[in-house]
């Protein structure tokens, strides 16, 4: 019951314009796989993953295709019950035939239960931001991500789900924003400057022009990608 109530609260924050900011974090375990297809084999790789049910509505996961940004082609965000399930096979089978894959990276993260957030399940466009934090700034980076969600909520914009690394890969954390469409993503440009300035200060930033510089003071680097769902 508590998990359901939390999901409803997060859903309202993600969907209702002007809703109070929520920390879109959680204890749900995910395996994140990034894939770059072998040259000329992207559609074959996608077809193989779809045939396995990867990212299907009943798989508690998302299969996302890179549109702009980083060097990889696909992100698989798959919910798992626990490490015992995820690591039960001593030598797990490849996610797809190796001749279809040029590069692969895996990571286990904790985040919110996206099954309780239809905006994330049904989106037409996703924005991923992946971070390497400075060694002593990991906690502050997560706080900053929450502040940006406060800023977004005040503007009636979608808030991002926050995922924190536990095992594998090198990313300390990443966020995932969900949008109905490319047009919805671009609507941020229509927000009046005075409203943005007020929302930034209310969220705890010095001013709207310091949001980016403050984020960059906490990280070694970050990579952005715009993604579309494969269904």
Residues 48-66: tens digit of each pLDDT: 999 999 887 677 899 999 9
CB 125 within 8 A of CB 179: yes
pTM as predicted: 0.88
Residues 172-210: tens digit of each pLDDT: 999 999 999 999 999 988 999 999 999 999 999 999 999
45 to 79, 102, 136, 210: CA distances (angstroms): 21, 11, 39, 41
Give just the sign of the alpha carbon dihedral 42, 58, 15, 223: negative
Does pLDDT of 46 surpass 70?
A: yes
Look up residue 156 and give its two tokens: 């009636």
- Which sequence spans correspond to the domains of the chain? 2-229
How many whole angstroms separate alpha carbon 200 and alpha carbon 206?
7
Task: Say which CATH topology domain 2-229 has.
Answer: Alpha-Beta Plaits (3.30.70)
Residues 123-173: tens digit of each pLDDT: 999 999 999 999 999 999 999 999 999 999 999 999 999 999 999 999 999
pLDDT at res. 118: 87
pLDDT at res. 3: 42
């Amino acid at each position: 019951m508590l998990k359901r109530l939390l999901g409803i609260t997060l859903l309202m924050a993600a969907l209702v314009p002007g809703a109070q900011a929520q920390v879109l974090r959680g204890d749900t375990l995910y395996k994140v796989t990034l894939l770059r297809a072998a040259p000329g084999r992207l559609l074959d790789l996608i077809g193989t993953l779809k045939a396995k049910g990867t990212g299907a509505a009943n798989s508690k996961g998302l299969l996302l295709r890179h549109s702009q940004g980083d060097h990889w082609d696909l992100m698989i965000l798959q919910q798992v019950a626990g490490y015992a399930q995820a690591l039960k096979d001593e030598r797990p089978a490849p996610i797809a035939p190796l001749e279809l894959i040029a590069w692969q990276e895996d990571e286990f993260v904790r985040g919110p239960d996206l099954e309780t957030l239809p905006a994330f399940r049904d989106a037409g466009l996703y924005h991923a931001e992946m971070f390497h934090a400075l060694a002593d700034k990991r906690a502050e980076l997560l706080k900053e991500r929450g502040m940006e969600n406060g800023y977004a909520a005040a503007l009636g914009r979608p808030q991002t789900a926050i995922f924190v690394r536990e095992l594998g890969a090198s990313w300390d954390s990443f966020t995932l924003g969900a949008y109905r469409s490319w047009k919805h993503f671009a609507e941020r440009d229509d927000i009046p400057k005075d409203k943005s300035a007020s929302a930034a200060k209310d969220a705890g930033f010095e001013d709207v022009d310091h949001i980016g510089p403050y984020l960059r003071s906490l990280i070694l680097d970050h990579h952005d990608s715009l993604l579309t769902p494969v269904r």
